[in-house]
Amino acid sequence: MTTPPDNIQQQQPVLVLGGTGKTGRRVAARLRDRDVPVRIASRTSEVAFDWEDATTWGAALDGVRAVYIAYYPDLAAPGAPEVVRALADAALERGVRRLVLLSGRGEVEAQRAEQAVFESGADVTVVRCAWFMQNFSEYFLRDAVLSGEIVLPGGDAVDPWVDVDDIADVAVAALTEDGHVGELYELTSPRLYTLTDVADEIGRATGREIRYVPVSVADYAAAAADQGVPEELVEFLTYLFGEVFGQNADTADGVQRALGRPARDFATFARDAARAGAWDAPVPATS
């Protein structure tokens, strides 16, 4: 199938897979701010999309100009390279050439998936990210911050956590601007942080005592299972903390290369999140 002329493409939406997640909803919001039509597709959206059911892909891909690909559950999951390559092929069959793939640093399967999408022949940009700062403000580590203790099997390893807002800015640039096709942008903050550093930064931002409590991977997995975390998620977290965390003890310049500005650091993220009420304790219910 041929690609539509530019004037027609401008009227076509950008497909955002994972459009209600941490990165996807930010990408969608930024696209709308640029007056770019957006199509969000998921298992529960108006336009149905299921990674495990390729028969749902066609309706999501038909008539779009570009795709932001956030694979669920994670590109590190077994079989991910084959699935995202199949999606890239399906997009090309429908004349959709520009693809932006969200990926992770230090994950072998994720890098295989990147290569598979590059080899599809599409106009690909890969956004390869460090661990998200927003895990502490919007996801499974928020409750730990509210408790005052961040209990994780991270030891004294360092990581260059990345702000999800930087990820969204880079992804939107790659989806809508020239000059990003074929690029692999590694996104990190400008410096490395231990989990003790992270706790200290959040403590300064909130004015509360937040401390990091190191545990073994086995103890962390057992505690998660005791709390009712699904077995497959426990296995995935064990993999991440046992094999991935701490393996990327270096910073990268992807934000600067893609946007011409520095990446945000953790201190700035923590101050902004605190001001926005990310760690305001829930108000107790009254009788």
pLDDT digits (tens, 9 = 90+) for 164-203: 999 999 999 999 999 999 999 999 999 999 999 999 999 9
Same domain as 13, residue 97: yes
Amino acid found at 105:
R
Same domain as 123, residue 12: yes
Mean pLDDT value of segment 238-256 = 90
Same domain as 85, residue 140: no
* In a domain? residue 279: no
Out of 129, 148, 176, a domain closes at 129
pLDDT band at 258 (very low <50, low <70, confident <90, very high): very high
Mean per-residue pLDDT of the chain? 92
Same domain as 109, residue 25: yes
Among candidates 256, 19, 247, 265, which has minimal Cα distance to 111? Answer: 247
* In a domain? residue 98: yes
Structure tokens at 260: 């011409």
pLDDT band at 282 (very low <50, low <70, confident <90, very high): low
Q: In this structure, what DSSP letter does residue 263 have?
A: P
pLDDT of residue 1: 54
Same domain as 151, residue 93: no
pLDDT band at 232 (very low <50, low <70, confident <90, very high): confident
Mean pLDDT value of segment 218-242 = 87
Same domain as 107, residue 125: yes
Same domain as 47, residue 35: yes
pLDDT of residue 285: 41
pLDDT band at 284 (very low <50, low <70, confident <90, very high): very low
* In a domain? residue 87: yes
* In a domain? residue 17: yes
* In a domain? residue 33: yes
Whether omega before 73 lies within 30 degrees of 0, making that bond cis, reads yes
Supply the range of the domain harboring residue 105.
Answer: 6-129
Counted domains in the chain: 2
pLDDT of residue 39: 98
Residues of the chain with pLDDT > 70, as a percent, come to 94
Structure tokens at 273: 């999140």
* In a domain? residue 138: yes
Q: pLDDT for 96-127, tens place per residue? A: 999 999 999 988 889 999 999 999 999 999 99
- Please, how many CA atoms are within 13 Å of residue 277, restricted to the half-sphere of its CB? 2
Structure tokens at 56: 């749902």
- Please, how many CA atoms are within 13 Å of residue 3, restricted to the half-sphere of its CB? 14
* CATH assignment at residue 207: 3.90.25.10
* In a domain? residue 257: no
* In a domain? residue 287: no
pTM of the full predicted structure?
Answer: 0.92
